[in-house]
Structure 1
Amino acid sequence: MSAISSRIAALRSKFTLLSRNKRWIIGVGSAATVTFGTGYYLTKYRGARNGSLSQHSYANSYSERYRYPGTIEKSLQEAIWDESNNANYQYEKSLAEYSDVLERLQELGVNPLTDEYTRVELKIADMLEKMNRHENAKTVYLEMLYRFFEALNTPGAVPDDMRPDLIRKDLRVLIKSLEMNRDVDVGKRNLLAHLLLAQEEILMRSPELKQFFDSKREKAERLVKGRPINAAEFKTFVNDDNIKFTDDGYMILDIQKNTSAWEPFKEEFFTARDLYTAYCLSAKDVPSALSCKMTTVQWMVMADMPPGQILLAQANLGALLYLQAEKFESDLYQIDTKCKADPGFADDEKVVKALRYLRKNRDTCLQMSGQCYDSVIKFTNEHSKLRYHMQDQLDNSIPQSLALSTYGKGILNLHGGTLEKAERFLIDAITLAKQTDFEELIKEAEGELQKTRDLKASAAGSPTAAK
């Protein structure tokens, strides 16, 4: 579990803006060791589950930190030894030992929601993965998720003060399970169900956040519902109005909100939201991805997330707005093609309104995308500790957000035909990306730079340019 923070940082850094007519890619790397395995033990668990989720049993098992009896402790030590290099990685033998421990815990009536129980499950899954038995591990993740979900939705099954810890565990297993998922629809459904559960918990714990979310949600959903976009209502989240700096250069948020409602699962929550955005994009559902990302950035500010993550989220929002503009432009092209083929089609009142709507929303999305990029560039330029000492930052999200935003400005200028500016931005983006080994962006920016230079050369050699 301790690797979850590095997992989250790696996940966010993989949000890479690609150029026109290309898709977004989000890399899902290896998560912490949060796994489990065989159908045999799952079947045994199903038979023992009834009556095991009472508030009393869960509270006692959890708060007293169940101690393994001596014989079980010895078996665990043997299992750990057998899976190590000291025993030449005997995963099969270790799996059998962990499985035996789990069976004895079941016989003792240890609550299957506690760390003591699930820790053994996760070690079993780790062995299964190392033995390439991924389907077994995947099945168990889903079973664990079902167990957590059922408990969290059963009144009185989990004491209120222990729900946040169980939600964090639920989200961690969810993230791990999605690494093995190959079905976009199934992954998207699982993500949505567990995210809504966590979201309800947050809003229940903070009436202020609920009021804020309700007031902002309608605006974020306009793209999904097909309503016109109003650029005047759009405000970027990276600015000096809500983000301040201490004398030591640490970022603080200038909002009077209690962020305890997000603890201790806020990092897992935002990672899961990023994954949901990625699944929407995989399904080519750009409006839903954009709506999700708009809300995510708002919530990250409210949750007092680290500065680099907020900056990178703002840059990613700009990229999604550009993708939405491309979608509008694609729709425009299709209608224009029909109009050229059938002049009478262009006179239809509905077609005229559709063209007006698409052009307005395309231009608005491009404008909003530029605002997102400009806010990141302006913010980092104005704060020396962010802009000029990036090499000293442990979190690469800050310099990567600047590189991504600079690249985005290059693409916007290329889209608008301003080739000189596009070239300068893309060169700067490559330089910035190389400073932090942002390989995904370097490759894309170099491709777009070559395209820009080819267009410049073509324009310089055209008869019109010669005149």
Structure 2
Amino acid sequence: MALRRTSPSAKFTQASNLDAMLGDCIMNRKQKEEQRFREHMEAQRRKRKWSTYITSSVALLLATSGILYLWQPWNPFSTEVSRHLRKGLWLETSKNIDYLKALEHYQNALRQCKKEQMDNLDPRYTGIVLKIAEMYEKLQMVDRQREVYQRLSDFLFAKLVNDEVPPEWKDKVIQRDLVVATRLATLAPAGQTKRVMQELWERMDYAEQQTVAKFPVLHVRGELDIMEVLQLDSWSAKKKFIEQHLPQAKKFLSQWSVAWPCYTEDLVRARDLYATLAMFTAPGDVAVKVLQSNIFFMKIAGQEPIKMSTALLNLASAYYFKSEQHEARSALAGDTDTLEKQMFVEHEKTEAQKARDMSARLYRAIISRYQGQDEDSGVCQAMSLYSLGVLNKGQKEAETYFSRAREVAAEHGLVQVMDKIDNETLLPAPLQQV
């Protein structure tokens, strides 16, 4: 095969093409370097720009903070009152805590409010009163703390029932009144529990009337099926329940969201405390009804100011104490020598068994609902299993319940529950009844 020869002109052309390609490569390299340089300079410019913004913003923030510290346009108090409040707050939160001096500053702030003729119903004024009570608590001056709460509670409730509270303050005053009455109930000295419970009940009743007037859905007639209420975990379930049991509250279903009064969670807490005290001082039905309506509200409103698990445990305990009250009444009846006595005793025994059965149902429902590995579930499991052991005392199931309860309690370090179980299973029978 013959070789092809390249002419001089073709060689020249190839050389020219090669030079052009080299030139293009050089130009491309320069363009890329220039592009990278421009991108670098742009990045540096942006960096300087953001640095300037940040520096300016910090400077502006510091300057504004200084101005706001002196002026504080959102501060609802005067300069003199604010000065005492800041000093009081500093003295109770700094390293060198001095509650006595903090108390003095809060008292001075209150005196200044009086000089400025601030309304005693004003939430700002009553808020300072609560701080004074808090300082008495820190100083362990319980009598003075109780005195402050009692005077404030009497004042607020009197203004509410006499309709002397401005509309814009009413819900806030109800909330404050509930908080104070609840704290008074927890501080009640021996022999005064029933009195403070009555005062708490009056506050609760007033708040409930105000709430039901706005939200008829909370007005339940007749007995609640608490097991049905526990299934209200979705909006569709709530809607069906309301349509079936509360036809007067259909308007409630048309709302996408409900603006509950600011005191509703405090009302639930107050009712929970009242029910706890009522288990030992009032007929069993009282605690049961209060706790049932609390659970109903929490399910309907989707709020849990107290844990649902706690509310359920309390309700199960309330049914248990109710059963004991019925048994005690049947025992006190003595000889059933008349038909009337026989009927009374049979009625009390029947009611006692119903209450015990309901208590057991609730404990089993709690065990079913709370099966996680968290501490709350552990407490629910241990307490419910222990309680089922007590309810079945004398039967074969009791030993199984106590054994399971102790395992769960040991796993979660629930020493008090373990002690309760040991008292039931280790002590001789005569001592258990002491």
Same fold by TM (over 0.5)?
Answer: yes
Deviation at 1:422, TM superposition (A): 0.9
Aligned match of 1:100: 108
Residue identity in the other structure for 1:74: R
- Report the Cα offset of residue 308 of structure 1: 7.9
- Per the alignment, residue 197 of structure 2 pairs with 188
Match of 2:395 in 1: 418
Of 66, 73, 79, 1:70 maps to: 79
| Residues 1:236 and 2:243 are matched in the alignment | no
**Counterpart contact for 1:151–1:158, Cα < 8 Å:** no
SS in 2 for 1:141: helix
Q: State the distance in 2 between where 1:266 and 1:434 align.
A: 37
Distance 1:428 1:163, change over 3 A: farther
What is the rounded CA distance, in whole Å, between the counterparts of 1:85 and 1:317 in structure 2? 42
Asked if the contact 2:91–2:101 (Cα under 8 Å) also holds between the matched residues in 1, the reply is yes
| CA separation of 1:272 and 1:128: change in aligned 2, threshold 3 A | same
For 1:373 and 1:90, the matched residues in 2 are separated by 47
Structure 2 residue 298 is the aligned partner of structure 1 residue 300: yes
- Corresponding residue SS for 2:227: coil
Structure-2 residue corresponding to 1:178: 185
The one-letter amino acid of 2:182's match is I
Give the corresponding residue for 2:314.
316
> Distance between the aligned counterparts of 1:446 and 1:437, measured in 2?
15
Q: What is the distance in 2 between the residues matched to 1:108 and 1:273? A: 37
2:208 pairs, out of 178, 199, 206, with 199
Does 2:351 match 1:361?
A: yes
Matching residue of 2:69: none
Identify the residue that residue 136 of structure 2 maps to in structure 1. 128
Query: Whole-Å Cα distance in 2 between the matches of residues 209 and 292 of structure 1?
Result: 13
Q: CA deviation at 1:181?
A: 1.6
Asked if the contact 2:316/2:363 (under 8 Å) is kept, the reply is yes
Q: Is the 8 A contact 2:232 2:300 kept in 1?
A: no
- Unpaired runs of 5+ in structure 2? 1-72, 240-251, 430-434
Structural mapping, 1:136-285, within 5 Å = 136-155=144-163, 157-159=165-167, 162-182=169-189, 183-210=192-219, 213=220, 215-216=221-222, 219=223, 234-237=225-228, 239=230, 241-244=231-234, 254-256=237-239, 260=258, 262-283=260-281, 285=283
Residues 169-198 of structure 1 show CA distances to partners (whole Å, capped at 9, x for unaligned) of: 222222222232211122111110111111
Choose which of 432, 446, 467 in structure 1 pairs with 2:422. 446
- Partners of 1:307 and 1:398 within 8 A in 2: no
C-alpha deviation, 1:164, in angstroms: 2.7
Which residue of 341, 344, 351 maps to 2:341?
Answer: 351
Q: 1:333 to 1:303 in 2, by over 3 A?
A: same
Find the counterpart in structure 2 of residue 6 from structure 1: none
In the alignment, is the contact (CA less than 8 A) between 2:268 and 2:305 conserved in 1? no
Give me the whole-angstrom Cα distance separating, in 2, the residues matched to 1:289 and 1:443: 27
Cα distance change, pair 72–309 in 1 and its aligned pair in 2 (3 A): closer
Q: How is 1:86-97 mapped onto 2 (pairs within 5 angstroms)?
A: 86=95, 88-97=96-105
One-letter amino acid of the counterpart of residue 351, structure 1? K
- Please say if residues 320 and 356 of structure 2, whose CA atoms lie closer than 8 Å, have aligned partners that are also in contact: yes
State the Cα distance separating 1:261 from its structure 2 match: 6.2
The equivalent residue for 1:329 is: 327
Partner of 1:409: 388
> Does the C-alpha gap of structure 1 residues 439 and 243 become closer, same or farther in structure 2, counting only changes over 3 Å?
farther
- Superposition deviation, residue 293 in structure 1: 2.5
Looking at structure 2, the residues matched to 433 and 305 of structure 1 have their Cα atoms a distance apart, in angstroms, of 29
Deviation at 1:135, TM superposition (A): 1.9
CA distance in 2, matches of 1:147, 1:308: 28
**Residues 155, 372 of structure 1: alpha-carbon distance in 2 compared, 3 angstrom cutoff:** same
1:40-51 to structure 2, matched below 5 A, reads none
User: Contact 1:325/1:363 (CA < 8 Å) preserved in 2?
Assistant: yes
Equivalents in 2 of 1:322, 1:114: separation in Å? Answer: 44
Report Cα offsets for 1:130-189 as digits up to 9, x if no partner.
Answer: 333322221111222223223333436221x54333322222222222232211122111
Distance 2:98 2:306 in 1: 42
Task: Note the C-alpha offset of 1:101.
Answer: 1.6
| Alpha-carbon RMSD | 2.9
| Amino acid in structure 2 at the alignment position of 1:148 | L
Q: Which has the higher contact order (CA 8 A, sep 6+)?
A: 1
Change (3 A) 1:397 1:264: farther
CA shift, 1:288, in A, is 2.5
Partner of 1:242, secondary structure, is: coil
Counterpart residue identity of residue 129, structure 2 = E
**How far apart are the structure 2 equivalents of 1:436 and 1:376?**
17
Aligned residue identity for 1:254:
A
SS of corresponding position for 1:243: coil
Please tell me whether Structure 1 or Structure 2 has the larger radius of gyration of its CA atoms: 2
Partners in 1 of 2:179 and 2:347 — Cα distance? 42
Shift of 1:290: 2.8
- Aligned residue pairs total 340
Q: Distance in 2 between matches of 1:407 and 1:436?
A: 14
- In structure 2, relative to structure 1, the CA distance for the partners of 1:424 and 1:92 (3 Å cut) is same
Q: What is the Cα deviation at residue 324 of structure 1?
A: 1.8
Q: Report if aligned partners of 2:123, 2:172 keep a CA contact under 8 Å in 1.
A: no
1:400 aligns with 2:407: no
**Structure 1 residues 93 and 104: CA distance shift in structure 2, 3 A:** same
Could you say what secondary structure the match of 2:238 adopts? coil
Determine the C-alpha separation between the residues in 2 that align with 1:431 and 1:66.
Answer: 55
Q: 1:147 to 1:418 in 2, by over 3 A?
A: same
Residue 357 (structure 1) shift: 1.0
* Distance in 1 between residues matched to 2:158 and 2:127, nearest whole Å: 19
Secondary structure of 1:255's partner? helix
Cα distance in 1 for partners of 2:280, 2:352 equals 22
